[in-house]
Structure 1
Amino acid sequence: MRIRGVSGSIAALGLAGLLAACSSGTSGTASAPAAETGPVTLQFWCWGAGQKDKVAAFNKTHPDIQVHHTDAGGGTDTATKLVTASRAGNAPDAACLEYQTLPAMIVAGALGDISAQTADIKDAFSPEVWSLTSFDGAVYGVPQDVGPMVFVYNRKRFEELKIEVPATWEDFATTAADVRKKDPEAYLATFAPAEFGNFAGLAQQAGASWWKVQDTTWSVGIADAPSLQVAGFWQGLIDKDLVKAEPLLTPEWNSRLNKGKILSWPSALWGPGVLYGIAEKQAGDWAIAPLPQWTKGDARVAFQGGSAIAVTKNSKHAQAAATFAKWMNTEKTAYEIQIAAGEYPASVAGQQAAAASEPPKLVSTQKDYWDVATKAAQSTIPHLSWGPNVSTAQSAFEDVVGAAVRDKTPLAEALKKTQQVVVDDMKSTGFKVAGP
């Protein structure tokens, strides 16, 4: 999801320094809530399926805390609106935020530290998932859903063409060539220039680290060696016409998918739900498999997508808001609603409940669906580090990678340009960045 428009208005502060300030118990943060008496009403912003029903279930069981739910738009809209509302002093009490936006929201001073209120639920999540909302010892949200990366493929078409599911990315290239030979109108997969999160996940799987901060000094690795390796891999496939370089989910792409001419989508566990929405007649034809590996035997994958519920600094009912965020992401009633809506819960109990449920409709005939999904969730890479200007990076990536595909110039050079834009932006807003 896009999150344009956030970083341009972020205060020029180092994240490490800001985290220290957020953890200090300063008046007005969620880390030191005032005592509350009597019924309170919370304002909550969140998009996504199932939110309305979850809020209704919470309200029914919490007469002293009533929540008013507003869909403020997807990840992009919510993040942008939250910064504006926070500065005006009228942000909601709680909001859903994508994991990659959290550092920017912290730097913008929009979120409260809820470490004290959430200490009792830390063990309800795997360390890898909990790390997505934890920074320098402070906690800024309760994980809601996650998207471990997997390989989503049209099993029926694979069987028709007698091709194997690729175990490694080297196998993926071989399979891509095999598909083109056996059906010249078909492609194994798409390289989508605007899919910043997908490319970031594949780069992380290869060993990339796009942002790091030591004390108050940042380093940016968008053009590091693993990222350039991934760019070179896709460049080779594009140059040989083995993958289709085009945007996803357009009418043209959807048509090809429905005709069986796009055979896979290396994405995440939410992928089958998205594809079912545009290819309902292919229900039961698809399956998931482990994401191809860069190094044979290394099954680690990145998260792509997912969100947490954060408590804002503006909230006058931080304790109640934290109670709400915890219930929404650990209570059995809540994660059962999530599962029914097609989300993969972030909590361990929620994931166990999901594993006992029926597979999504697109992959309804895959008997080992939840075995594959569970292994992917257990193989995720911890401590993913996003920087304070992710939106700048995403915007630059989309622009320069799109131009590279259009003009047939190297993707590696596009990554280097993206890195330079990100570094220049961070320096211009006051961050200390290592290197040139």
Structure 2
Amino acid sequence: MVRSLPLVAVTSPTRRDVLRGLGGLAAGGTLAACGVPTESGEPAALGSSAPPSGAQARGEVTLWMRDDDLLKVFRTVVPAFNAKYPNVKVNLKGVDIATKLPPALVSGTGLPDGSFWEDDQIGQHADHLYDLSTLMSKYRADTVQFKLDVLTHHGRLVGVPWDTDPGLLYYNDEVVTGAGIDPASLTDYDALLAAARAIKGKNPKARPIPLEQDNTLSMMWYTMFLNQQQGHGLVDASGNLTLDGEASRRALTWIKAVVDEGLGARQKFAGTAQITMLDEGVISLVPWAQWFIFIPQSGLKKTTGKWRVSSLPAWTKDGARSGLMGGSSFVIPDKAKNPELAWLFYEFAVYQPDGYRKVFSKNSVYPTGLNTLVPSVKSALDPAKPLVDKLPQLGGVDNWAISTKAALEIPAGYTAPSWYGQAAKYLGVNIQRLMDGKMSVDEVIAKSMADIKKNLIDRN
């Protein structure tokens, strides 16, 4: 399974110098696309001249990936890349990125030329990364805007957007219809609560909606509810905290209702207990990231084929029925030896059909295609040209059409604070206390704002 932020029980979770002088780079590397060091000490931009093309591109490039299925998938891309760039040797290495990349960025030693990275970690290290704004300019219109928003820090676009993880609603069709509920009626969160009540009324042991026990995942869930509402995040465009705003209160109040009415199952995502509850029909309504798909696809036995997927409910009348929960991108360290070669590989794998089809379509790693996420490239999100198969585990619904529609409808205008990846130790912890019945909505907001301001904003 591939997903874009650390998942419990699957894998363990997880600035400032200019580019070294051009003459110190590895022999044979072509540097036509490199930016130049700046006298101000700000990281240089990449793309001040045209990148090399075809046989003109020469050298060796080292790219870090997580050491998992994603590494295997991207290795299948290399032959197609070399058909276009025959003189570039690509070394894809599986490493513990969360442990190895941050210190390498700070020290400037042992760096790769490019790396996969979780979006929530990129902001706090943005000034160790190349500004890719110039190179990305021709692809902006073809990129999901939310991803561009996430990767823009102080006006610098510091990553190549890779996957988009839209929020979707997964539900056990047998349980839902058995409680007299028309799945098509689940268009807002009040209706979802009403459905959960009806399901519990029919089966007192039911706890239809999952409530995560992990600090990071519970915060991601909450922020999915925020960015679903016209691009809201933890801060506004001026960097001011928005935890006490209407969107935040609405989401937290809804979560509290799930808790207070006994409609939620507190279990770790993909843990044994949660899998059992899903298979026994105890959990049956799951508003979650697209990567939940791997559970009905490969983790369930009794209820496989009974699950379906649809758009998220909306918070307001005619409101957005899509949000984002997770995501990852590719970054290029500003001290990389061959940054332009890293760019060429990422450009090919992400934006060119021969590349992204290799990644997402059926292959030896994913026989039905990589369906736990979708590309961030709009032209790749054609519902009429699916990159993945329909799944019998989801009753044969068109999961590609549903997920791509959701990705394209994620509201834009999001502002990503550089400290987002550190906020779970405060906001995530307090959301857990809300789920434990130990904090009110007002207390979660007040304490989280105070904690974040003191420990993350003022400190930076």
TM-score by length of 1: 0.83
Asked if structure 2 preserves the Cα contact closer than 8 Å seen for 1:94 and 1:311, the reply is yes
Matched, 1:102 2:122: yes
2:172, 2:284 within 8 Å by CA — same for their partners in 1? yes
Whole-Å separation in 1 of the counterparts to 2:343 and 2:427: 35
Determine helix, strand or coil for the equivalent of 1:244: strand
Equivalent residue number for residue 263 of structure 1 = 284
Q: What is residue 416 of structure 2 aligned with on the other side?
A: 386
> In structure 2, how many angstroms separate the alpha carbons of the residues matched to 1:42 and 1:67?
5
Instruction: Count how many residue pairs are aligned between Structure 1 and Structure 2.
Output: 403
Aligned counterpart, 1:163: 181
Q: Which residue of 2 aligns with 1:177?
A: 197
Shift of 1:371: 3.5
Sequence identity percentage? 17
* CA deviation after TM superposition for structure 1 residue 39, in Å: 3.2
Inter-partner Cα distance in structure 2 for 1:155 and 1:51: 35
**Cα distance in 1 for residues equivalent to 2:155 and 2:37:** 13
Within the candidate set 184, 197, 209, 1:189 is matched to 209
Matches within 5 A, 1:15-164: 26=38, 29-31=44-46, 39-47=58-66, 49-59=69-79, 60-61=82-83, 62-73=85-96, 78-89=97-108, 90-106=110-126, 109-135=127-153, 137-164=155-182
Per-residue deviation, 1:193:
4.4
Query: 1:158 deviation in Å?
Result: 1.8
Alignment CA distance shift 1:373-1:407 (3 Å): closer
Contact 2:119-2:327 within 8 A present in 1 as well: yes
The one-letter amino acid of 1:189's match is I
**1:309 Cα shift?**
1.1
SS of the residue 1:325 aligns to: helix
Tell me, yes or no, if the aligned pair for 1:129 and 1:143 is still in contact at 8 Å.
Answer: yes
Contact 2:211 2:435 in 1 (8 A): no
CA-based RMSD of the aligned residues comes to 2.8
Which one of the candidate residues 357, 360, 373 is aligned to 1:338? 360
Contact 2:255 2:435 survives alignment (8 Å): no
Aligned residue number for residue 32 of structure 2: none
Tell which deviates more after alignment, 253-262 or 205-214: 205-214
Q: Which moved more, 1:376-385 or 1:402-411?
A: 402-411
Which of 244, 259, 262 is residue 241 of structure 1 equivalent to? 262
Aligned partner of 1:17 in structure 2 is none
Q: 2:450 is matched with which residue?
A: 420
Q: How far did 1:45 drift?
A: 1.6
CA contact (8 A) 2:390 2:400 kept: yes
Q: What are the residue-to-residue correspondences of 1:276-425 with 2, within 5 Å?
A: 276-279=297-300, 282-336=303-357, 337-339=359-361, 340-342=369-371, 343-352=373-382, 355=386, 357-366=388-397, 368-406=398-436, 408-425=438-455
- The match for 2:364 is none
Greater RCO (CA < 8 Å, at least 6 residues apart): 1
Is 1:209 aligned to residue 249 of structure 2?
no
| TM-score, normalising length: structure 2 | 0.79
Post-superposition shift, 1:397?
2.5
Asked if structure 2 preserves the Cα contact closer than 8 Å seen for 1:286 and 1:362, the reply is yes
CA distance in 1, matches of 2:158, 2:233: 21
SS at match of 1:270: helix
| Ranges in structure 2 where 5+ consecutive residues have no aligned partner | 8-14, 17-34, 362-368
The aligned residue for residue 221 of structure 1 is 242
Distance 1:174-1:427 versus aligned 2 partners, 3 A rule:
closer
1:38 and 1:382, CA in 2 relative to 1: closer, same or farther beyond 3 A? closer
Task: Give the direction of change, closer, same or farther, for the CA distance of 1:231–1:32 in structure 2 (3 Å limit).
Answer: same
Greater CA drift, 237-246 or 258-267: 237-246
Q: Which has the higher helix share?
A: 1
**Code of the aligned partner of 1:415:** I
Contact 1:52/1:69, CA 8 A, preserved across alignment: no
Residues 1:416 and 1:392: Cα distance change in structure 2 (over 3 Å) = farther
- 1:187-213 per-residue CA deviation (whole Å, 9 max, x = no partner) reads 221122432111111123245431235
Residues 55 and 67 of structure 1 are in contact (CA less than 8 Å); yes or no, is this contact kept in structure 2? Answer: no
Q: For residue 219 of structure 1, give the secondary structure of its aligned residue in structure 2.
A: coil
Paired residues of 2:128 and 2:333 also in contact (CA < 8 A): yes
Q: CA deviation at 1:136?
A: 5.2
Q: 1:193 to 1:410 in 2, by over 3 A?
A: farther
Asked if the contact 1:393–1:422 (Cα under 8 Å) also holds between the matched residues in 2, the reply is: yes
